[in-house]
Amino acid sequence: MQQNKILKAKKDKADQIRTFIYKNINSGDYSDRIPSLSQLAEHFNVNIKTAKRAVDKLEAAGIVVSHKGKGTFVNQNDREPAPILFIGRENKEISGAISSVLASAVDMLELNYSPYTFLLPRNLDNEPYELSGPKGMAGMLIEGKLLEHINADSLKVPLVKLHAFNKHDGFPAVRSDVEDGIKQAVDYLRSLGHKKISYLGPDSEIDDGLDSLKRKVFCEHIIKHKLKTKGSWNPHTYFRVEEGYKSAIKILKGKEKPTALVCVNDEVALGALNACDVLGLSVPGDVSVVGFDDRAPAIMRKPFLTTVKVDFKQTAVEGIKLLHKCVSSPKDNEMSNFEIVLPVHLIIRETTGRPKND
Number of domains in the chain: 3
Residues 8 and 103 in one domain: no
Please tell me the predicted confidence (pLDDT) of residue 10. 42
Instruction: Assign 294 to helix, strand or coil.
Output: coil
User: What pLDDT, on the 0 to 100 scale, is given for residue 338?
Assistant: 85
Distance between CA atoms of 34 and 31, rounded to whole angstroms?
8
Considering the domain architecture, whether residues 196 and 272 belong to the same structural domain is answered as: yes
**pTM of the shown model:** 0.75
Does residue 357 sit within a domain?
no
| Pair (225, 161) in one structural domain | no
Cα distance between residue 279 and residue 282, in whole Å:
9
Q: Which residues contact 101 (CB under 8 A, 6 or more apart)?
A: 312, 313, 316
Q: What is the pLDDT of residue 1?
A: 41
Mean pLDDT, 10 residues at a time, the chain of 358 residues: 40 81 78 87 91 87 81 75 86 83 87 86 70 78 82 77 77 92 98 96 69 90 94 90 96 93 95 97 96 88 95 91 82 74 96 86
- Whether 305 maps to a domain, the answer reads yes
Full residue range of the structural domain in which residue 53 is found: 2-77
Statement to judge: residues 195 and 232 lie in one domain = yes
For residues 168 and 317, state if they share a domain.
yes
* Residue 356 is assigned to a structural domain of this protein: no
Q: Which residues pair with 64 in a beta bridge?
A: 74
Are residues 46 and 91 located together in one domain of the fold? no
Q: 317 with 330, same domain?
A: yes
Supply the Cα-derived Rg of the chain in whole angstroms: 27
Cα angle 8-11-17, degrees, rounded to a multiple of 5: 145
Read off the CATH number of the domain in which 290 is found.
3.40.50.2300
Domain check: are 194 and 299 in the same one? yes
**Domain boundary residue, one of 77, 98, 125:** 77
Per the domain annotation, does 352 fall within a domain? no
Residue 350 lies in a domain: no
On whether both 293 and 211 belong to a single domain, the answer is yes
Q: Is the peptide bond before 284 cis (omega within 30 degrees of 0)?
A: yes
Whether residues 125 and 194 share a domain: the answer is no
